[in-house]
Amino acid sequence: MGTLPGEGFRDITRRLRIGWLWVERLRVRRALSAAEGELGWLGWEQVDFYDEQIVAEVEKVREYENTQASLMNTSAELSGRNVALDEELAGEKAKHDKAQDALAEERGRVAGQLEQAETRRRQKLEAVERFEKALEEMADQEKGLQAHSLDLMSVERVDLATRVEAREVSDALAQLPGERRLVLADKATAADEAARLEPGIAKLRAELRRIDGEASAASERLAEATRRVTGELLLLERERKKSDVHMSRIDRKKLKPYRQIGSCLADHGLAPLNQPEMLDKVFALREREAGLTQRLYDLRAACAAMDARVLVAFYVLLAAILFAVGVIGFECLRH
DSSP per-residue letters across 281-309: HHHHHHHHHHHHHHHHHHHHHHHHHS-HH
Q: Give the containing element (helix H, strand E) for 34.
A: helix 4-43
* Cβ neighbours for 91, distance < 8 A, ≥ 6 positions apart: none
Q: What is the pLDDT of residue 201?
A: 92
Range of the domain at 17: 1-47+270-335
Higher pLDDT among residues 130 and 327, named by residue = 130
Return the top range by mean pLDDT from 79-83, 91-95, 268-272. Answer: 91-95
Q: Could you tell me if residue 14 is inside a domain?
A: yes
Using CA atoms, how far apart are residues 209 and 224, in angstroms rounded to an integer? 22
Mark whether 218 and 96 lie in a shared domain: yes
Triad 284, 289, 291: Cα angle to 5°: 95
Write out the E strands in the chain.
none
Residue 179, φ and ψ in degrees, nearest 5: -65, -35
Checking if the pLDDT of 172 tops 90, the result is no
> What is the percent of the chain with per-residue pLDDT over 90, rounded to a whole number?
31
| CA dihedral sign, ordered 292, 297, 300, 306 | negative
Check: pTM over 0.85? Answer yes or no: no
Q: How far is CA 204 from CA 192, 193, 198, 213, 317, in A?
A: 19, 17, 10, 14, 108
Give the CATH number for residue 246.
Answer: 1.10.287.1490
Q: What is the pLDDT of residue 1?
A: 43
Mark whether 237 and 281 lie in a shared domain: no
Mark whether 276 and 235 lie in a shared domain: no
Orientation of helix 160-267 relative to helix 4-43, angle to 10°: 110
pLDDT tens by residue, 255-275? 788 888 788 888 878 788 778
Q: Could you tell me if residue 55 is inside a domain?
A: no
User: 301 falls in which pLDDT band (50, 70, 90)?
Assistant: confident
- Amino acid in position 96: H
Triad 317, 23, 309: Cα angle to 5°: 25
pLDDT tens by residue, 100-119? 999 999 999 999 999 999 99
Helix (H, G, I), strand (E, B) or coil at 269: coil
Mark whether 228 and 94 lie in a shared domain: yes
Q: Give the containing element (helix H, strand E) for 189.
A: helix 160-267
Q: Could you tell me if residue 104 is inside a domain?
A: yes
Mark whether 225 and 285 lie in a shared domain: no
Q: Could you tell me if residue 66 is inside a domain?
A: no
Using CA atoms, how far apart are residues 15 and 304, in angstroms rounded to an integer? 11
DSSP assigned state of 270: P
Q: Could you tell me if residue 72 is inside a domain?
A: no
Checking if the pLDDT of 50 tops 60, the result is no
Q: Could you tell me if residue 53 is inside a domain?
A: no
Q: What is the pLDDT of residue 133?
A: 93
Checking if the pLDDT of 254 tops 70, the result is yes
Mark whether 9 and 145 lie in a shared domain: no
Using CA atoms, how far apart are residues 297 and 5, in angstroms rounded to an integer? 24
Number of neighbouring beta carbons within 10 Å of residue 135: 15
Mark whether 85 and 37 lie in a shared domain: no
Number of domains comprising the chain: 2
Higher pLDDT among residues 223 and 321, named by residue = 223
Higher pLDDT among residues 332 and 183, named by residue = 183
Mark whether 295 and 240 lie in a shared domain: no
Mark whether 106 and 38 lie in a shared domain: no
* Cβ neighbours for 75, distance < 8 A, ≥ 6 positions apart: 240, 243, 244, 247
Mean pLDDT, rounded, for 280-284: 90
Checking if the pLDDT of 205 tops 90, the result is yes
Q: Could you tell me if residue 260 is inside a domain?
A: no
Mark whether 112 and 41 lie in a shared domain: no
Checking if the pLDDT of 2 tops 50, the result is no
Mark whether 227 and 118 lie in a shared domain: yes
Q: What is the pLDDT of residue 51?
A: 66
DSSP assigned state of 45: G
Q: What is the pLDDT of residue 101?
A: 93
Segment among 131-140, 217-226, 261-270 with least mean pLDDT: 261-270
Q: Could you tell me if residue 232 is inside a domain?
A: yes
Using CA atoms, how far apart are residues 127 and 236, in angstroms rounded to an integer? 69
Distance of CA 147 to the CA centre of its chain: 87
